């Protein structure tokens, strides 16, 4: 787990206002989750998209709370296995999460709840001490065109497929 001083410096380098500490912690957690996904074998089928991908790769000033992916084929059991890997990686960082999962026909959703992450970092901004990140996996029926780019943030470096 990185200390708040390092997170603030990294956020400044990535054009995130240092006063938005909740957003900085969320972004740090997102990077840990993304790194975990892309180091697992099925991660090569996760095509990162949506607002968070736009912020990280195209520097849009918009901040997004969710991690959205398309995948050409991923079974529900593979999704659960990916989530187990994420849970282990977060725990190793000292940032445990409670994970709930749901599924519809072509959509898998996971909600990762970080119970006292704000307290861990000594932040009380008048909101809850918990923080939630949602992962959505869509399995569209059309062909997906992809690209790969390197992402290096908060001490992690990996290559998501966009």
Domain count, the chain: 1
| Inside any domain, residue 158 | no
| Inside any domain, residue 88 | yes
Beta bridge partners of 136: 68, 109
| Inside any domain, residue 159 | no
- pLDDT tens digits for range 40-58: 999 988 999 999 999 888 8
| Inside any domain, residue 14 | yes
| Inside any domain, residue 97 | yes
pTM, full prediction:
0.92
> CB pairs under 8 A, 24+ apart, for 124-128?
125/21, 125/22, 127/22
CATH code of the domain in which 64 resides: 3.10.450.620
Least confident of 79-88, 130-139, 146-155: 146-155
Question: Nearest CA to 39 among 74, 100, 88, 91?
Answer: 88
Domain of residue 104, residue span: 4-151
| Inside any domain, residue 43 | yes
């Amino acid at each position: 787990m990185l200390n708040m001083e390092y997170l603030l410096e990294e956020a400044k380098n990535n054009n995130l206002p240092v006063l938005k500490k909740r957003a900085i912690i969320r972004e740090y957690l997102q990077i840990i989750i993304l790194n975990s996904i892309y180091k697992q074998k099925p991660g090569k089928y996760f095509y990162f998209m949506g607002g968070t991908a736009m912020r990280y790769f195209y520097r849009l000033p918009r901040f997004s709370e969710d991690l959205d992916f398309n995948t050409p084929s991923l079974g529900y059991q593979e999704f659960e296995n990916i989530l187990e890997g994420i849970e282990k990686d977060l725990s190793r960082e000292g940032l445990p999460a409670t994970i709930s999962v749901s599924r519809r026909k072509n959509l898998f959703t996971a909600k990762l709840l970080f119970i006292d992450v704000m307290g861990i970092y000594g932040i009380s901004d008048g909101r809850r001490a918990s923080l939630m990140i949602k992962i959505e996996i869509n399995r569209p029926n059309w062909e997906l065109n992809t690209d790969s780019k390197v992402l290096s943030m908060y001490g992690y470096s990996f290559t998501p497929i966009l």
